[in-house]
Amino acid sequence: MSLEIRDLHVFYGDFHVLHGVSLTVEEGQLAGVIGANGHGKSTLLKAICGLVPVRAGSMTYRGERINGLSAPDLVARGIVYVAEVRHLFAQMTVRENLMLGAYLPRARKAAARNLDQVYSLYPRLKERERQLAGTLSGGEAQMLALGRGLMSEAAFMAIDEPSLGLAPGLTATMLDTIQAINARGITILLVEQSLALIADRVHAVHEIEEGRIAALAHA
């Protein structure tokens, strides 16, 4: 078992967003999370990755309790968040962004190998190596966000709506590369709004409805 979440509650101030979410992700799985706008998908991924505080419940990763660990602590354990709104370093080049993905010592040691992998997965990024991240197209920015996550020597990636703002053709390509990343042994929790988009690609899917896991739509 890779990730196990039990009865997770998350608040923004007084606003109760996640009302007791439980789910498990198996090692090596590509698991999907679907749900409509504003139902708490991003909040779930951020909670897992240490970017929003958890009020109650438990999260374990490979048997270790990870509640309350900071994002850097989690990145050090290979748990990486790829954000819906990318959070790239706009005034740095594509290459500088990728190298910052390998900031922590464990990832730095593997940086050369991971950079080759990222460039073979996204040759476009190699072509744009010296371009500022802030000037990339939507698709290229998404590739860079995923590439930067891979540079962190990720073992578990929480990927938030990679299709956001992309043309349908490009979305399919992007999801292909996510399957390719998973095929390399990286466990993935993938958020999308529509089941149709990911149904044929994932090993399991969880639906979030108003901050709760709804009945399984698909397994």
Residues that bind ligand ATP (CB under 6 A): 12, 15, 17, 35, 37-43, 84, 193
Site string for Mg ion, 62-101 (x = CB under 5 A): ----------------------x-----------------
User: 43 contacts which partner out of another protein, Mg ion, ligand ATP, none, CB within 5 to 8 A by kind?
Assistant: ligand ATP
Burial of 112 from C-beta contacts in 10 A (0-12 / 13-18 / 19+)? exposed
Task: Tell me the HSE value of 127 on the side-chain side, using a 13 A CA sphere.
Answer: 7
Least separation, in Å, of the C-beta of 148 and Mg ion? Answer: 19
The DSSP secondary-structure symbol of 133 reads: G
Q: Maximum Cα–Cα distance for the chain, whole Å?
A: 47
Q: Return the structure tokens found at 85.
A: 């709104």
Please tell me whether residue 11 binds another protein under the rule CB under 8 A. no
Tell me the pairing of strands 30-34 and 204-209.
parallel
Instruction: Tell which residue, 16, 89, 1, has the closest CA to residue 52.
Output: 16
Q: Which stretch binds another protein (CB under 8 A): 35-43, 84-92, 169-177, 187-195?
A: 84-92
Closest CA to 219 of 209, 207, 205, 208: 205
Residues within window 45-64 making contact with another protein, judged by CB under 8 A: 49-51
The entry of ligand ATP, another protein, Mg ion, none near residue 37 (CB within 5 to 8 angstroms by kind) is ligand ATP
Contact positions vs Mg ion (CB under 5 A)? 42, 84
Which chain residues interact with another protein by CB under 8 A? 49-51, 70-72, 75-76, 80-81, 83, 86-92, 96, 99-101, 103-104, 107, 148, 152
